[in-house]
Structure formats: C-alpha cells, structure tokens
Amino acid sequence: MSSSNSKMDDNKLQKIINNLRNSNIEIRKEALENLAEIRDKRIIEPLISVLNDENHQVRFKAANILGDMGKDAVEPLIQALKQGEGESKRFVTYALKKIGDASAVENLIQALDDEDWGVRKVAARSLGELGDKRAVEPLFKSLNDEDWGVQLAAVRSLGDLGDERAVDPIKKARRKGDKDFKKAANKALKKIGKK
C-alpha cells in the first residue's frame, strides 16, 4: 500500500502480468496478490482477461482488484460486459457494482436481459445496491424472470430502492411466489413503506 509500490518499474510489472497466464495456479494467485497493491491503468486489461480463468478464486480476486481500481476501470469493464460471455460477465458485473459508478447503471440495466441467469442475478442485485432510481422500472420485468434467484434479487433490490412505483408489481409477483419469495416481497414492501 506504500506509494513506492504503485510506481513499479515496467519490467517488474510486466513479469507479474505475465504470471497471470502461468499454468501454475499458485503463481497466478501470487501475481494477483502483487497486483492488488498497484493502482496502474496498465493492469486493467490483463485483469479483465483473468476473469476467464478456470479457477473461481482467481476470477473472484481479479474482479475484486478491478472493483478497487475505481473510475479508471469502468469503461474497460463496460466493454467487457458487452463483449464477454458466460461466467466472466458475472465477475465483470460484480466489479462494476463494487466501483459503484453511476455510468455503469445503464449497462447493468441492459445486463438484466443477458442470457446467463448469473449475470442477470448479479445485475439485479447490483442495481439495488447502487441505489439509482433509473433501475426501478427495468427491475419489474426481472420479478418474472424464469430464474428464481433473479426474481429474488429483483424484489430485494426494489425494496432497497424504496420507490413506491414498485409496490403493485411486487404485490403481483408475490401472489405467484413461493414461501421464501413471499417473505422477501413482504420485507421489500415494508422497506418501501418506511421511505
């Protein structure tokens, strides 16, 4: 975390970046540990490519580091969200949420229509955590998603957003939901009622 660490010489940085592609998982993890201390734009693209790593811990650590990069990482992550596929997009969505930049909201709203349920779920939950009211109406559709987890994420996020426009859609979805969904819907309605 010292400032000297953030200005690493090019050769050392390139060696660490190259280690992200090493076949040995421990070397990849160590490279990520080293990069976690660095706030250098040059590590953004290599970290985004690691979101496709075969190891879940490696992907998650890379997403966390990207989330800590702040505004510099937003545009490259948005591009990765548009071009990526499958599970890597879930980690991109997570990193965008962690950054919390308002410019990501529109892209997270679009991600509610992704073919991957995991991306839809993370996007739905992220929109509630970001607290941007633009997400309220797009989340209504997610209340009827084919995936139960997406529905649950949407109802929780609508509760977090606390917008009265969500009351009727939540009540309507609650009628079709199971016991757990009904409980989450009631909690969301209570949150909205308090705001």
Total domain count, the chain: 2
Task: Give the pLDDT score at 142.
Answer: 97
State the number of CA atoms in the 13 A half-sphere of 191 facing the CB: 18
Q: What stretches of the chain show up as alpha helix (H) in DSSP?
A: 3-6, 10-19, 25-35, 44-50, 56-69, 71-83, 87-99, 105-111, 117-130, 136-142, 148-161, 167-176, 179-194
pLDDT in tens, 59-69: 999 999 999 99
For residue 75, being part of any structural domain is answered with: yes
C-alpha 126/C-alpha 116 separation (Å) is 15
| Confidence (pTM) | 0.84
SS3 53: coil
C-alpha 180/C-alpha 174 separation (Å) is 10
Q: Which residue shows structure tokens 């308002």? A: 102
C-alpha 171/C-alpha 111 separation (Å) is 24
For residue 33, being part of any structural domain is answered with: yes
For residue 21, being part of any structural domain is answered with: yes
For residue 4, being part of any structural domain is answered with: no
* 128 & 179 share domain: yes
For residue 154, being part of any structural domain is answered with: yes
* 94 & 112 share domain: no
For residue 142, being part of any structural domain is answered with: yes
Domain boundary among 99, 122, 144: 99
For residue 2, being part of any structural domain is answered with: no
Domain boundary among 45, 78, 99: 99
Closest by Cα among 40, 109, 102 to 74: 102
* 63 & 76 share domain: yes
C-alpha 8/C-alpha 112 separation (Å) is 39
Q: Which domain holds residue 94?
A: 10-99
Cβ atoms of residues 171 and 163 within 8 Å: no
Domain boundary among 68, 99, 130: 99
SS3 115: coil
pLDDT in tens, 90-147: 999 999 999 988 888 999 999 999 999 999 999 999 999 999 999 999 999 999 999 9
In the DSSP assignment, the letter for residue 46 is H
Structure tokens at 191: 């949150």
Cβ atoms of residues 17 and 50 within 8 Å: no
Quote the mean pLDDT of the chain.
92
CATH value at residue 70: 1.25.10.10
195 pLDDT higher than 70? no
**Backbone Cα Rg of the chain:** 19
Report which residue type is found at 74: V
